[in-house]
Amino acid sequence: MLTIGSLQLANRIISAPMAGVTDRAFRDLAREFGCGLTFSEMISDMGLCYTQQRTLRLADVSEEDGPVAVQIFGSDPETMGRGAAILVGLGAAIIDINMGCPTPKIVKNREGAALLTDLHLARSIIREVKAAVSLPVTVKMRKGWHDDEHTYIELGGIAEEEGAAAVTLHPRSRSQFFSGQAEWSAIKILKQQLAIPVIGNGDIMSASDACRMLEETNCDAIMIGRGAMGNPFLFREAVALVEEGTIIEPATIEERIGIAIRHLDLACRYKGEMVGVREMRKHFSWYTRGMRGAARIRGDINRADSRDELVAAIMQLLGREGN
């Protein structure tokens, strides 16, 4: 059993934070498929401190029935601390600090992966957030800014010294964005160096990848991002293989379509039909990836304006010969 600070997790499979993807509907499904911990999308410290309604809605996990690590991003230690305190009231189980986002509009504000280039500031942020909340505080980081940098070693040490309860490493540099391969050997090095739990992340696309990362790096838990987009079944498969050594049959076309519709209904319930449908179009493209006939219904998915139109689009794939 994995413990992060005072929080005991049911297993070692964690759903990654993904802006625009891991909203409440996604997290509900991730939990349904056995995930031990889910992450929110990244939340702006300024949005919290200036009580922007959209930010507060994004950050509110108080009604969810499993632990959610809520991720905050920013560059000012003081507002990061204040923002973190607000997240406690919104139901967070863990406060995670973003030190990995590579997007230009984030790093130009010295946020996200930019903190890899200013470890003094990174330390102050962890210290302020830690002082502001009594929940476990964690840090999610990349390997370094440039390809040949190994900043994670020093930053991991800083996080531990400042009382972080765990760190997650996505071992790509900021310059790489998502190109190349995640360098899992860096996760192994970090694990050897730290006493706090290390969560390994990057390029887990199957349950066997999850097992392989645990074996190769000795990390304490694994975090899955892109592999679960349109495929929450990966959580179920990874939990079964990692925790029980059991291989689960891949989801059938019927099940994939059924869960896509359930996901849509959850999104409509939480965000209203208009926003729910608009945001679910991309998820439907992911759910149908690789299905026979998927390319032909892509246009219907993108034109769908209502829940029923989106359902009708995907139902065209049911019962196709060879599915």
User: What residues act catalytically?
Assistant: 101
Question: Closest CB to ligand FMN among 207 and 317?
Answer: 207
In whole angstroms, the minimum distance from the beta carbon of 196 to ligand FMN comes to 18
Q: Residue 59 corresponds to which amino acid?
A: A
Is residue 225 at the binding interface for ligand FMN, with CB under 6 A as the rule?
yes
In whole angstroms, the minimum distance from the beta carbon of 54 to ligand FMN comes to 15
The site that binds ligand FMN (CB under 6 A) totals a number of residues, namely: 22
Is residue 83 at the binding interface for ligand FMN, with CB under 6 A as the rule?
no
Question: Closest CB to ligand FMN among 2 and 101?
Answer: 101
Contacts with 192 (C-beta within 8 Å, 6 or more apart), sequence order? 218
**What is the four-CA torsion angle of 123, 124, 125, 128, rounded to 10 degrees?**
130
Single residue of 101, 106, 164, 266 touching ligand FMN by CB under 6 A: 101
What is the chain's percent helix, strand, coil content, to nearest 5? 50, 15, 35
In whole angstroms, the minimum distance from the beta carbon of 41 to ligand FMN comes to 5
Single residue of 80, 94, 116, 204 touching ligand FMN by CB under 6 A: 204
Closest CA to 184 of 209, 202, 205: 202
Is residue 140 at the binding interface for ligand FMN, with CB under 6 A as the rule?
yes
Single residue of 5, 26, 30, 41 touching ligand FMN by CB under 6 A: 41
Backbone angles phi, psi at 68, to 5 degrees: -125, 125
Contacts with 295 (C-beta within 8 Å, 6 or more apart), sequence order? none
Give the CA distances from residue 313 to residues 3, 6, 290, in Å, rounded to whole numbers and listed in that order: 43, 46, 16
Q: How far apart are CA 73 and CA 6, in angstroms?
A: 23
Question: Closest CB to ligand FMN among 79 and 98?
Answer: 98
Give the residues lining the site for ligand FMN (CB under 6 A): 16-21, 41-42, 71, 98, 100-101, 140, 170, 201-204, 224-227
